[in-house]
Structure 1
Amino acid sequence: MIEWVGLVGALALLIWMTVRGINILIAGPVAAFVVAITAGLPLLPPLAGTLADGGPAPDFATSYMAGFADFLSSWFLMFLLGAIFGEVMGASGAAASVARFITQKLGSRYALAATIAACAVLTYGGVSVFIVAFSVYGLAVALFREANLPRRFIPGAFAFGSVTFTMTSAGSPEIQNLIPMQYLGTTAYAGWQVSIVVALAMAALGYVLIARMVKRAVLAGEGFEARESDDRFEIDAKLPSPALSILPLVGVLGVFLITQALGKWALLAALGTGIVLACAVGWAQRGALSGAFSRGATGAVVAITNTCAVVGFGTVAQLSPAFAEALAAVQALPGSPLIGAAVAVTVIAGLTGSASGGQSIALPLIAPHYLSLGADPAEMHRVVAIASGAMDSLPHNGYVVTTIRAVCGETHKSAYGAVAATTVLVPVLGTILALVLFTLF
């Protein structure tokens, strides 16, 4: 019983500290410590002893840092280049040029849609959702400035465009759509007919929700609030042409698609190309580019360590007996195997704060069980993928913390409402719709 209290209490504590603005580098280890104490996990390696096979038994300190360090070593270079690319797009004037073109030719009402669309294109093109926010931030700030929209909705626009109707849809090259393949023997296009319907429904509902939230804020008198760190260009400033300014984003997507055989390392080639193109396009602003590189490097360190802190918590949480009991309980749910699989992945993704983590932990255990009950592999693939993108984006999620605080410089209090509406509510409803459609057809 104490293990359950510790696991649920630690998760609640982590969410509370995150929302209250306590640094995640403090909140993550504190919450993981609570899990370790209540689960009876040794705190330090000398206290852990050995396993039956002679290997070291798990302990709090080693397990937390293993999760932290694994993510850091896997993604630091991508975070670094992604952050620099975003800063250079802003400092070069390329982001401002594209934003000014969109708002002048199409009207300011398209600023929100353009931000979401940019994220959606990059995400469905395969660029990691963590990197997309960095890449589009300069453009988003310029768009919101031109349209005089409250910048606290930028994280919501990023999250909606990245981690909902694109990340988990059929054909998406994101890892959240690829993990089920190895356990279910499916392809990335599994359940594509239902996926199209669900993706369109999620896109429409999510856009209506966030657009209404932005409209209410504007009617209440909110507008864009400039910051000292923003790249500013006067109305009559000479900017690169819009056609040239969009080339860096096109270059990132194009090079990534060409070099996909390199896996996640293709991001380095793509982002490096984008940085070179952005520097070339904004050569007239070359005096500001060195500062952009420095800001990008600093931002990358803050962003990735924030994410690592949450990954470390998830690693320790998995060691709690309550975690295994929760997984066993959802497997025992009566009814359709698809419902059981959706609940299992949703619960685990919520506990770990990770869609991919929820799938990787749950699928090896639940896939054989539900397939033996007659579940269709393609249907399970699609339901699991969509479900994993719902409760994973609670306030402690690494992507949410990074995007709101490190990339956009907002607080959970001001920005998380839009994120929750578009990345928790919308995917939950999308999962229900997928279950209904698979049941009926």
Structure 2
Amino acid sequence: MLSMIGLVGGLALLIILTMRGMNLLVAGPLCALVVAVFSGLPLFPQLVGEGEANLVGNYMSGFSGFVASWYLMFLLGAIFGKVMEDSGAADSVSKWIVNTLGMKRAVLAIVAACAFLTYGGVSLFVVAFSVYPMAVSLFKQANLPRRFIPAALAFGSVTFTMTSAGSPEIQNWIPIDYLNTSPYAGWEVSLIVAVFMALFGYWWLKRMINKAVEKGETFVSRENDPVIVDKELPNPLTGLLPLAVVLIISFIFHDSLAQSALIVALLGGVITTLALNYNYFTNFWEAMSQGTIGALIAIGNTAAVVGFGGVAKAVPAFQTAVEAITNIPGSPLIGGAVAVSVIAGMTGSASGGQAIALPLIAPHYIDAGVNPEALHRVVSISSGALDSLPHNGYVVTTVRAICGETHQDAYGAVGAVTVIVPLLGVILAIALFSLGLGI
């Protein structure tokens, strides 16, 4: 009982502290300490035998293990995003999409710009930073309440693109190592689910904005609002080609290199961006440096919650919870979805939730005869649902650091399109796989 109290209390504390703005690198180990103390887990390796569970050993094992597995992907992804940003290629693509769709479709233009860049392999955080200035400009001209900007950015970035078949984002690649699948696993179902999430989520987002406008909400300018610099941008085609290169290379090499294909693909994207847009760079080496720092922050935040999960999974309450989840009656896909969703919610990270859950559930479900491609797609989509609870690193960064909003004002819409919509997508995916589609 105490162990379960500690596990639930540690998670609740993690959510509260991050909502209050505490750094995840501090909140993660602090909340892990709460879990360990309530479960009677020894604090230091010196107090236990070799290989036995303890707070410091388990936390750092989870932290360092995630960094070792994913650092190069995070690094190259962040660098690719920064060189796309510094060269103006990302702005060029975003501006082209916005101009094509027009002012009357301001919200759709923002969502589409984020979706296009995300599916092309640009880091989620870089996409938000890149599109935000245009989002402010569009919302101002359309006189829409700015508290919905975080929802528009998040919806286009972390829902129907992040976890879809073929996406270069790591949330689609982590299952490959455990299930021996490809990034295109279950693509037929993935396509249907992505279209559903895109259409339904956009309708819901527009409905929330229209209701707010009907109640009299308008755009309120701020002194520190970003100003779009009127500088010469590269041709949108030279911004689209690097995105295409990332997708093509990942497709060609995913069979032979598995996860490492993403390293080659992102490197190819960086080289292509440099070759095509060299004359447009403001400071290439500074962009490389900023990308590296961004990668360290992003992987550090994710690893911090993976470390928390490393401690959580060592306590008796976690094992009890996993056993209950993996023995849910009915379709094993339901059990897999619930397990990954819950753990992603506990850790506040889709990638962190997968990294913790898959080693535990993949062997169980594969032995039970579950189709690996179906499990891959369900796990990927489900990881992108409860991960977007208020303590998620991307949510905190987008709502507070980028958009300057509060959780109280902005999170309702963010939660609707990044938690509820993906949950409905998971249900649809399980139903379609259960009918035999894509298997």
TM-score bracket relative to the smaller structure: 0.7 to 0.9
Matched residue, 2:249 = 258
1:107 is aligned to 2:105: no
Three-state SS of the structure 2 residue aligned to 1:25 is helix
Q: TM-score, normalised by structure 1?
A: 0.79
Amino acid at match of 2:248: L
Q: Of the candidates 132, 157, 172, which is equivalent to residue 124 of structure 2?
A: 132
1:239 corresponding residue in structure 2? 232
Equivalence for 2:37: 37
Q: Percent identity?
A: 53
- Equivalent runs, 1:348-367 vs 2, <5 Å: 348-367=343-362
Q: Distance in 1 between matches of 2:373 and 2:71?
A: 34
Instruction: Provide the rounded CA distance (Å) in 2 between the counterparts of 1:429 and 1:159.
Output: 17
- Equivalenced residue count is 423
Tell me the distance in 2 between the aligned counterparts of 1:312 and 1:375. 29
Deviates more, 1:75-84 or 1:339-348: 75-84
Please, what TM-score do these two structures have when normalized by structure 2? 0.79
Range 311-320 or range 379-388, more displaced: 379-388
User: Deviations for 1:335-357, whole angstroms, at most 9, x for unmatched residues?
Assistant: 33332232222222222333344
SS in structure 2 opposite 1:333? coil
Deviates more, 1:198-207 or 1:93-102: 93-102
Q: Per-residue displacement from partner, 1:375-395 (whole Å, max 9, x unpaired)?
A: 444444433332222222222
Query: Is 1:222 matched up with 2:219?
Result: yes
Change (3 A) 1:206 1:72: same
Whether the aligned pair in 2 keeps the contact of 1:19 and 1:412 (CA below 8 Å) is yes
CA drift at 1:215: 4.0
Partner of 2:273: 274
Question: Which whole-Å deviations, capped at 9, do the CAs of 1:82-125 have from their partners, x for residues lacking one?
Answer: 55665666666666655555555532233433333333334444
- Does 1:203 pair with 2:198? yes
Q: Structure 2: give runs of 5+ residues left out of the alignment.
A: 254-259
1:60 Cα deviation from its structure 2 partner: 1.8
User: What is the one-letter code of the residue matched to 2:164?
Assistant: S
* Structure 1 position 5, deviation (Å): 0.4
Corresponding letter in the other structure for 2:346: L
Matched, 1:145 2:137: yes
The residue type paired with residue 254 of structure 1 is: V
Q: Within 2, Cα distance between the matches of 1:74 and 1:367?
A: 18
Where does structure 1 lack aligned partners over 5 or more consecutive residues? none
Residue 12 of structure 1 aligns to a residue whose secondary structure is: helix
Report if the CA contact (8 A) 2:14-2:31 is conserved. Answer: yes
Does 2:294 match 1:332? Answer: no
Q: Distance in 1 between matches of 2:338 and 2:188?
A: 22
Contact 1:42 1:58 in 2 (8 A): yes
Once the two structures are TM-superposed, the CA of residue 331 in structure 1 deviates from its matched residue by 2.1
The offset of 1:2, in angstroms, is 0.6
Residue number in structure 1 paired with 2:27: 27
Alignment of 1:260-409 (within 5 A): 261=253, 262-266=260-264, 267-271=266-270, 273-274=272-273, 280-281=279-280, 286=282, 301-370=296-365, 375-405=370-400
- Equivalent residues of 2:132, 2:402 under 8 A apart: no
Q: Are residues 372 and 19 of structure 1, via their aligned partners in 2, closer, same or farther at CA, if it must alter by over 3 Å?
A: same
Deviation at 1:204, TM superposition (A): 0.9
- Corresponding residue to 2:421 among 405, 426, 432: 426
Q: Retained in 2: the 8 A contact 1:41–1:59?
A: yes
Q: Is the 8 A contact 1:115 1:143 kept in 2?
A: yes
Distance 1:343 1:257, change over 3 A: same
The C-alpha deviation readout for 1:170-216, integer Å capped at 9, x for no partner, is 44454444444555565544444433322211111111222333444
